Amino acid sequence: MFRTIAEKIKSKKLTKNVLFFANAKIIKKNHTQNIWLIKTFVLPLQILKKHKMNITQAENYFLHHIRAIHTKGFHVHSPFLYDLTRNVIYENNSYYCFAQIEQQRHQLLRNHTVIDVTDYGTKPSGKRKISDIAEVTLATEKEAQLLFRLSNYVKAKNILELGTSLGISTAYLVMPNSKCRVTTFEGSQNIARQAQNVWKQLKIQDRIHCIVGNIDNTLQPFLNHTGKLDLIYIDANHTEEATLKYYKMCLPHVNENAIMIFDDIYLNKGMAQAWQTIKQQEEVKATIDLYSLGLVFFNKYLIKQDYRMIF
């Protein structure tokens, strides 16, 4: 029944006031919980449309909200993670560079130039509008600004980004610290050119090194000659196999206080499984699941625990 409702919502057969219940099994456990869930955990149609969710993604989104008991630091006993949660994840101050970067985003969204795109990930290569690329692939303003705050919090100097896209997330990563350097990997030469234009407008091009090509071939040569990494942002080739491969490749190069950030951890079943696998690794000491992003910590003084938060 619930999938039928969801399909009707997606096809606009129901009115905008209809609410979508994502998981029948949980809702039907007992009468008391049923009433509580109906009152508390419903997904308005606007949410489904805004995030362009398929049924599986909507169910994951719904379940995440039910299980996110650590939101805003509740039940987070680690002083370090509590501080990071309160003063980084949920901070909403606007920093000096945010408006400048968002202006570049808006220009990309208005740029309807068609370019040839080479894609080594889950999408086919071909011609695409820059505006379409910006709408689909760029980190949201909220997510990108969290990248800025994380980079600032750990005082990152050596950052690795897998998946440059049009360079907006790269700009947020590099902006907090004039000594910070970002090495970013992009599969398509034409997309990389657009990103470089963004960086030139922001006058940060000298602090960013963009490596173009198939990450499967270009990442290891870079890692062979890099120092320890302070922050790693993985937003490329959203498959289980590729995500786990990149994780294992980067792992020997993270410093003890590094944060590894995974984008779109519930994009598909493969990504969700990769996230579960990463959380179970012995070297992973703590994780924070924000639904759209997954944060991984390696500090040996942290107590092994997985946190879920609504972001």
Q: Where are the domains of the chain?
A: 2-67, 73-308
The mean pLDDT value for 134-159 works out to 95
Q: Is the predicted pLDDT of residue 8 greater than 80, yes or no?
A: no
* pLDDT band, residue 262 (cuts 50/70/90): very high
19 pLDDT above the threshold of 50: no
Q: Is the pLDDT of residue 151 over 80?
A: yes
Across the chain, what does the average pLDDT equal? 85
pLDDT at 49: 57
User: What residues pair up with 208 in beta bridges, in sequence order?
Assistant: 182
Helix axes 98-109, 130-137, angle to 10 degrees: 130
Average pLDDT over residues 95-121: 93
Q: What is the mean pLDDT of residues 57-86?
A: 89
Q: Over range 140-151, report the average pLDDT.
A: 96
Distance from the first to the final alpha carbon of the chain: 29
What is the percent of the chain with per-residue pLDDT over 70, rounded to a whole number? 82
242 close to 217: Cβ distance less than 8 angstroms: no
Give whole-number Cα distances, 99 to 88, 105, 141, in Å: 19, 10, 10
pLDDT value at position 50? 56
* Residue in 219, 221, 224 with CA at minimum distance from that of residue 234: 219
Q: How many CA atoms lie within 13 A of 54 on its CB side?
A: 5
Given a cut of 90, whether residue 145 has pLDDT beyond it is yes
Amino acid at site 303: I
- Hey, which residues does 209 pair with through a beta bridge? 183
Going through 149-282 in order, the beta strands assigned E by DSSP cover 158-162, 181-186, 208-212, 229-234, 254-263
Pairing between β-strand 43-44 and β-strand 229-234 as defined by DSSP bridges? unpaired
Long-range contacts of the stretch 31-38 (C-beta < 8 A, 24+): 37/66
CA distance 245 to 114: 32
Residue pair 2/24 in contact by the 8 Å Cβ criterion: yes
- Joined tokens for residue 118: 């080479």
Mean pLDDT on 198-206: 97
What CA–CA distances, in Å, run from 211 to 69, 163, 198?
A: 40, 10, 16
Residue 238 has pLDDT above 90, yes or no: yes
- Mean pLDDT, residues 1-7: 43
Please answer whether residues 21 and 5 qualify as being in contact, where contact means their C-beta atoms are separated by less than 8 angstroms: yes
Secondary structure (3-state) at 103? helix
* 172-181: pLDDT as tens digits: 999 998 999 9
Q: Which residues contact 145 (CB under 8 A, 6 or more apart)?
A: 95, 98, 172
Q: What are phi and psi of 115, to 5 degrees?
A: -130, 160
From the CB of residue 189, how many other CB atoms can be counted at a distance below 10 Å?
Answer: 14
Task: State the CATH architecture for 73-308.
Answer: 3-Layer(aba) Sandwich (3.40)
Q: How confident is the model at residue 2 (pLDDT cuts 50, 70, 90)?
A: very low
What's the pLDDT at 202?
97
User: Per-residue pLDDT for 26 more than 80?
Assistant: no
